[in-house]
Amino acid sequence: MCGIIGYVGKQRAVNILLEGLKRVEYRGYDSSGIAVLEKGQLAVVKKTGRVEALAKIAAPRKFRATTGIGHTRWATHGGVTDANAHPHLSSDGKFALIHNGVIENYVGMKRFLIEKGFTFQSETDTEALVNLIAYHFQKEPANGDRSRFLESVRKALLHVEGTYGIAVLCTDFPSEIVAARKGSPLILGVGDGEHIVASDVSALISRTQNVVYLNDGEVVHITEKGFSLSTIQDQEEVAPKFDRVSWKIEDAELGAFAHFMEKEIFEQPVALENTMRGRFSDDGSTAKFGGLNLTAGDLRQIDRLVFCACGTAWHSCLVAEQLIERYARIPVEVEYASEFRYRNAPLDKNTLVFVVTQSGETLDTLEALREAKRKGYKVMAVVNVVGSTIAREADGGIYQHAGPEVGVASTKAFTSQLIVGAMLALYLGRLRDMSYTDGVEYVKALKHIPELIKQALAQAPHIKAIAKRYAHHRDFLFLGRQSMFPIALEGALKLKEISYIHAEGYPAAEMKHGPIALISPECPTVFFAPAGEMYPKLLSSIQEIKARNGKVIVITTTGSEIPDGLADERIDLPACHDAVLPLVATIPVQLLSYYIAAELGRDVDKPRNLAKSVTVE
């Protein structure tokens, strides 16, 4: 969850660290801090609040150091205080450490270290690790060997139970950083006479596009002259695999928009175009995916699909379930990734597992992937971040190509996942019993999505006005049926995430089985009622709400007739193919949530208690 960055080079480190922290602040923003090696001593500055607060006290000190580490925190162990902010120092003052993850056995480590004379200043698990490194350093022979620093970190990590992405400084080895990972992402950027280690490419993209993605159980030793990569457990050297980040720093800039969430909502026509690019057959009747690493014959043997995901990605899987079962006639089950590995669900031998995650680093989803592979199943991944851990560990998969998403509340990544699900339903359907004619119609509908999204976005002023009228309400219901039910769940989640308004999503027909008790003038209902065979039943449900004096915001399709008095507010969607309707229907609830949160003055891009990538369990 936390954001980390380390720098070794020729430039002043503080400015680079602060810039990098601002770019990874969406990973955690309870507090932040930096540590630099200044004249042979560790200088540490840390502060609760946003990185901007840290910059105000760090910048005036005009540090000249060219080596340093920085951290922005999402609290796990210990409250949000200056003392609990990272970096943490060993009690002998020799080491500074930043950490993303959770050390599960820190209590025993701490008890052992106190007996050895080490002292503690914080409530964190991280301080136990930095003191353990100092303990092993004291035991290593002081022979001037440059590996002493590395070996002290390695030996300490052998005792750690849990997850970590760490970067460490040592006063005895200036211009060096040791960094390691297990379960938490870590990336090395290789620049011109400098190296940057970070939890996210956004922290280093302004300095270099050449990167090395560390694998679990690897440690990197960075010096002025270069770096060496090895395994923690066996001390075996690892040949680095260099990758190049495809996007540029401008892709993650705010531009003329008030918030990244607003920017990313309006980027969706282009993002979805990029997701689809090059993925249709020459005859225009089906989709094609180059990264599944499965033949058509392999896929025809699949009897069941299991999707694992968390949060917004889980909602996208529910839509994929509807489309795949309808168009490909393959049974689909959607699992919370956080429950999958503990539930011991029976899987048929002809089951194919998909994991879906924007970041490719979500720990629960990563562990679901590993559990499925441990049991011998092929696992495909749908991810947005190239080179992420899940992308590298999966047997195959589909990149979303939606571009960097900075806002904590997912928007374009969600609709990109929806379109991947729709294309997958088409692809699997054409392998089975979907006709050529139906495939051509389906492809035309998918290719028309960017234009449909633009039409939906054109209603932003109308939706903003509705948001202004309803922002004072403290409870909302979101109701829909079939493929609109997952969008109701997503709409409720978006409103909760960024406005802190209580909201619930339900299948519309389930309203009578409990949620109807909430209906009142003070609890508006956002109701998805597109034209189709269910339309009369949807109108009946709206009647039930109005009979109890509930206010209704109806999201429907252009031309639908709604009896007078049923809709307090109406938002029209362009008529479209059923397979793409969930994508188009998502836009109004994204805009509604965004404008309500903005009206309430919320910190839209950094909502309280949340972080962009959940890399702890």
Q: Give the ranges where 500-568 is alpha helix by DSSP (H).
A: 535-546
pLDDT at 145: 64
Instruction: Spell out where 369-464 has E strands.
Output: 379-383, 396-399
Q: What share of the chain has pLDDT > 90, as a percent? A: 79
Name the token pair of 362: 């979500």
Question: How large is the average pLDDT for residues 178-200?
Answer: 93
* pLDDT above 70 for 448: yes
For residues 297-311, give the mean pLDDT: 95
d(CA 588, CA 593) in angstroms, rounded, equals 9
The better pLDDT of the pair 320, 192 is held by 320
Whole-angstrom Cα distance, residue 143 to residue 172? 12
Confidence of residue 88 (pLDDT cuts 50, 70, 90): very high
Structure tokens that stand for 36 in this block: 């630099």
Predicted local confidence at residue 615, as pLDDT: 65
Structure tokens at 487: 């969008």
- Residue 383 pLDDT exceeds 70: yes
Catalytic residue check, 2: yes
> What is the band of 155 on the pLDDT scale with cuts at 50, 70, 90?
very high
* CATH-assigned architecture of domain 459-606: 3-Layer(aba) Sandwich (3.40)
pLDDT given at position 521: 92
- pLDDT band at 617; cut points 50, 70, 90: low
Describe the strand order of the beta sheet including 332-336 as a list of residue ranges: 332-336, 304-309, 351-357, 379-383, 396-399
3-state SS class at 139: helix
pLDDT at 48 over 90: yes
Residue boundaries of the structural domains of the chain: 3-246, 256-447, 459-606
Averaged pLDDT for residues 540-566: 92
* pLDDT of the residue at 512: 86
* Residue 60 CB neighbours (<10 A): 7
Q: Average pLDDT over the chain, rounded to whole? A: 93
In the DSSP assignment, the letter for residue 557 is E
CB contact at 8 A, 612 and 497: no
pLDDT at 488 over 90: yes
Which of 139, 163, 160 lies closest to 151, judged by CA? 139
pLDDT at res. 78:
86
The answer to which of 330-334, 430-434, 604-608 has the lowest mean pLDDT is 604-608
Instruction: Show the tokens assigned to 588.
Output: 């109004």
Rounded CA separation 351/338 (Å): 19
The pLDDT tens digits of the residues spanning 22-43 come to: 988 877 889 999 999 988 899 9
Residue that wins the pLDDT comparison between 304 and 404 = 304
The set of residues, in sequence order, having a beta carbon less than 8 Å from that of 112 and lying 6+ positions away, is none
**Which one is catalytic: 46, 378, 606, 612?**
612
Average the pLDDT over 232-248 and give the result: 88
Q: Is the pLDDT score of 429 beyond 80?
A: yes
For residues 89-93, average pLDDT = 95
Q: Which residue has the higher pLDDT, 103 or 62?
A: 103
Match 């000249």 to its residue by tokens: 64
The single residue of 2, 170, 308, 523 carrying the catalytic annotation is: 2
- pLDDT of res. 77: 83
pLDDT at 314 over 80: yes
pLDDT at 201 over 80: yes
pLDDT score of 299: 94
> Peptide bond before 87: cis, by omega within 30 degrees of 0?
yes
Least confident of 197-201, 302-306, 458-462: 197-201
pLDDT computed for residue 312 by the predictor: 96
- Domains 256-447 and 459-606 are alike in CATH topology: yes
Say whether pLDDT at 612 is over 80.
Answer: no
Is the pLDDT at 248 greater than 80? The verdict is no
Of 8-12, 74-78, 229-233, 493-497, minimum mean pLDDT range: 74-78
110 is known as an active-site residue: no
Q: Please give the pLDDT value at position 146.
A: 60
213 contacts 387 by C-beta, under 8 angstroms = yes
Asked whether residue 260 carries a pLDDT value surpassing 60, the answer given is yes
Assess whether pLDDT exceeds 90 at residue 522.
Answer: yes
Long-range residue pairs from 558-561, CB within 8 A, at least 24 positions apart, any chain: 559/531, 560/529, 560/530, 560/531, 560/535
pLDDT digits (tens, 9 = 90+) for 535-544: 899 999 999 9
Amino acid at residue number 378? K
CB atoms within 10 A of CB 259: 21
Distance CA 214, CA 200 (A): 12
Instruction: Tell which CATH architecture fits domain 3-246.
Output: 4-Layer Sandwich (3.60)
Residue 220's DSSP bridge partners are 179, 229
Q: For residue 115, what are its two tokens?
A: 């007996």
User: Is the pLDDT at 144 greater than 60, yes or no?
Assistant: no
| Token pair belonging to 479 | 């109701």
Encode pLDDT of 329-377 as tens digits: 999 999 999 999 898 888 888 999 999 999 999 999 999 999 999 999 9
Which regions of 148-237 does DSSP assign to beta strands (E)? 164-170, 177-182, 187-190, 195-198, 210-213, 218-222, 227-231
pLDDT at 466: 98
Could you tell me which CATH class the domain 256-447 is placed in? Answer: alpha beta
Write the pLDDT tens digit of every residue in 96-132: 999 999 999 999 999 999 999 999 999 999 999 999 9
